[in-house]
Amino acid sequence: MVSLTTPLAERLRPRTLDDYVGQEKLLGPNGPLRRAILQNTVPSIILWGPPGVGKTTLALLIAEVTKRQFYNLSAISSGVKELREILSRPSGLFPPILFIDEIHRYNKGQQDALLGAVEKGKITLIGATTENPSFEINSALLSRCQVYILEAFGQDELTALIQRALEKDEWLKSKHISFESYDALFRISGGDGRKLLNLLELVVLGKGEVPEIVITDEYVTEVAQQNIARYDKSGEQHYDIISAFIKSLRGSDPNGAVYWMARMIVAGEDPAFIARRMLIMASEDIGNANPTAVIMANACMQAVNVIGYPECRIILSQVAIYLATSPKSNASYVAIDDALAVAKNTAHLPVPLHLRNAPTKLMKQIGYGKDYKYSHDFPHNFTVQDFLPDEIKGTKFYEPGLNAKEEELRKKLRQWWGDWYKY
C-alpha cells in the first residue's frame, strides 16, 4: 500500500542520473556537469533556476553518485553557527557536499563564512538560488564557484514527468487514467515540475475510487481553484516582470505598461514597490523632458502608502499611463554617469580657490573666495565664470534631449554660456 502522506513529487524524486528529467545541455550524454559527476570532479557550484526544475534533486544525485557525505541547510532557517558546526566536522577522502537551498538569502557575513572552506577544498558547496547570482552572491564567493543555469521545463519535459509518474508510481499505476489534454496542467504549473506532479496527485485524488478516470482541463482548473499567476515576488520572475513593466513605460506603450502592472497586482506585489520603480523611471527616462513626471510619481508613491489595495490600483494605472505617454529624455541620467566617470579619475583635483568659502581671515589672505562673482549682482542673475577645475575646464556633462522642454533649456544655456560649453 502506497503512503499518500508523502507528496507525489517526493515519491518520484530521481535516484539516478538517467531518471533525471530535463537539463540536457548539462546532464545529457556529453553534458559537462554529467562528466564532472561521473568523474567525481564536481567543483563548488551555484545552481540558478526557477522553482521546481530539480535543483535539490540534482544536489542529492551528485552526492549519491560520488558517494560523498551530504549536509543540507536552508538559508531561511540556518546561520553562521550551523555553518561552522558543519565545517568543523572531519571529512573523508573527498570533501563533503554542503547543499544550501536559497543561498541568496544569506547575508554577506554568512556568505563570507563559507569562503575559507570553499577555497581550501574542505567542502564542495552546492548553492541553489532562484535569483541572479551576479546580484545576490558576493563576488568573492561567486568567483570560487561554477554557475550552472537550470532552465524551466518545456512541454516535452512536463509531458515526460507525467508519463514517468503514471509508469513509476505504485498508486497511479493502480488507476486507469486518461487525459483529454495536458493544457491546464501545464498552464497552472507554469513550468514548475514539483507543482505539476502535486497538482496531478490532487486531481486524481479528487476523482475518488472510480474505475476509469478521465482528466479534463475544466476539471484541473476547478481543482486548482484558480489559475495562479506565474510570478514569485522573491524570485527571478519578479525581476523579469518589473523589467517588462519599466521597458514598456520607457518605450511609451501604455498598454504594455498596464498589462505588466496588472500581472504584479494579481500576484500581490507591494504597491509601494511599483510606485517606487515608477518614481525612479520618471527621473531616469523622462527627466526634464517633462519635469511634472517626477512630481506625479512622487505623489503616487505617497498616495499608495495611504490608500492601499484595491483603490490604489487606479492611481497606479493613472500614473503609469502618464509616464508612458510623456516625452522621454535620459539626459540627466547620462550626465551624472558621465560626471561620475570623470570624477573617479580626477578626485585629486583641488576646488578652485574662487569657489571656496573663506570663513576665517587666514583663508581670505591665501585667496579663498577671491574673484568669485555673486550671480545676483549681475543683470539677469548670471555672469560667466569657471565652475570646474582648470584641468577639465569646458567639459560638458549635460546634453539637453531632443524634446520641446529641453530645447527651451538648450536655448537658455546657449544664451548664458555662448561657446563656453558649445550647446
- Residue 332's pLDDT band (boundaries 50, 70, 90)? very high
**Residue 331 covered by a domain:** no
Question: Does residue 270 surpass a pLDDT of 70?
Answer: yes
Question: Does residue 312 surpass a pLDDT of 60?
Answer: yes
Domain boundary among 149, 167, 197: 149
- Whether residue 84 is found in the same domain as residue 185: no
User: How far apart, in whole angstroms, are the C-alpha atoms of residue 129 and residue 101?
Assistant: 7
SS3 274: helix
User: Domain tally for the chain?
Assistant: 4
Measuring CA to CA, how many Å separate 69 from each of 46, 72, 91, 210? 18, 10, 8, 45
Of the two residues 295 and 265, the one the predictor is more confident about is 295
- Residue 404's pLDDT band (boundaries 50, 70, 90)? very high
**pLDDT of 375:** 92
**pLDDT of 234:** 52
CATH of the domain at 302: 1.20.272.10
Question: Does residue 233 surpass a pLDDT of 90?
Answer: no
CATH of the domain at 161: 1.10.8.60
**pLDDT of 1:** 43
Domain boundary among 224, 245, 270: 224
User: How far apart, in whole angstroms, are the C-alpha atoms of residue 58 and residue 101?
Assistant: 12
Give the residue numbers spanning the domain of 95: 22-149
Q: Which grid coordinates belong to 290?
A: 517633462
- Whether residue 182 is found in the same domain as residue 242: no
* pLDDT tens figures, 351-383: 999 999 888 888 888 888 899 999 999 999 999
As a residue count, the chain comes to 423
- Whether residue 27 is found in the same domain as residue 117: yes
Question: Does residue 236 surpass a pLDDT of 60?
Answer: no
* pLDDT tens figures, 59-116: 999 999 999 889 988 887 777 788 888 888 877 778 899 999 888 888 888 888 888 8
* β partners of residue 310: none
**Residue 2 covered by a domain:** no
- Whether residue 220 is found in the same domain as residue 286: no
Question: Does residue 217 surpass a pLDDT of 80?
Answer: yes
Q: Which grid coordinates belong to 276?
A: 517606487
- Quote the percentage of the chain above a pLDDT of 70: 96
